[in-house]
Amino acid sequence: MRDSSNLGLHFEEDFTMSRTQKGFTLIELMIVVAIIAILAAIAIPAYQDYTIRTQVSDGLSLASGSKTAVAEVYQNTGNFPGTNAAAGVASSASIIGNFVTQTAVGGSGVITVTYGSEANTAISNSTVTLTPAANAGSVVWTCDSPNIADRYLPTQCR
């Protein structure tokens, strides 16, 4: 037979050991929450910048067809078209996207991409202009935006 006093002692030791091995302490949980908060503070602004740059690129992709048409008209006539119709593209209100309300060909072949209210507030109601220039028989484009921060523009527009 076993001594009953020893049984109680072993039971108590086993009980305290199993209690200390269950779960996390409050400090450990607070450290995990602090780490997650720091990571979120870094990741959220970076993601927002990424989405804005994507929206700007969407508008420039929509303008690529107009760029081709303007360059083609210049190659054929020696003059830049002044309207969407003269460039042979759809009306400015027809060349739209999720974030772009219009893509217009203006005087001297300048293409203006206008971002609407669906775009991020950093670029909503802003424009990007693509300006053509003749260069030894070809057309080169410069990109500019008076009201969109440089960090949101593609590298060729900075």
The pLDDT tens digits of the residues spanning 22-31 come to 788 999 999 9
Res 17 pLDDT > 60: no
CB 49 within 8 A of CB 152: yes
> What pLDDT, on a 0 to 100 scale, did the predictor assign at position 152?
95
> What pLDDT, on a 0 to 100 scale, did the predictor assign at position 78?
92
Mean predicted lDDT score pLDDT of the chain: 89
Share of the chain above pLDDT 70, in %: 87
Res 20 pLDDT > 70: no
> What pLDDT, on a 0 to 100 scale, did the predictor assign at position 60?
95
Res 11 pLDDT > 70: no
CB 122 within 8 A of CB 52: yes
CB 86 within 8 A of CB 110: no
157 pLDDT tier (thresholds 50, 70, 90): confident
Res 4 pLDDT > 80: no
Q: Which pTM was predicted?
A: 0.77
Res 6 pLDDT > 90: no
Say which range, 1-5, 39-43, 121-125, has the weakest mean pLDDT.
Answer: 1-5
- Tens digits of per-residue pLDDT, 72-129? 999 999 999 999 999 999 999 999 999 999 999 999 999 999 999 999 999 999 999 9
9 pLDDT tier (thresholds 50, 70, 90): low
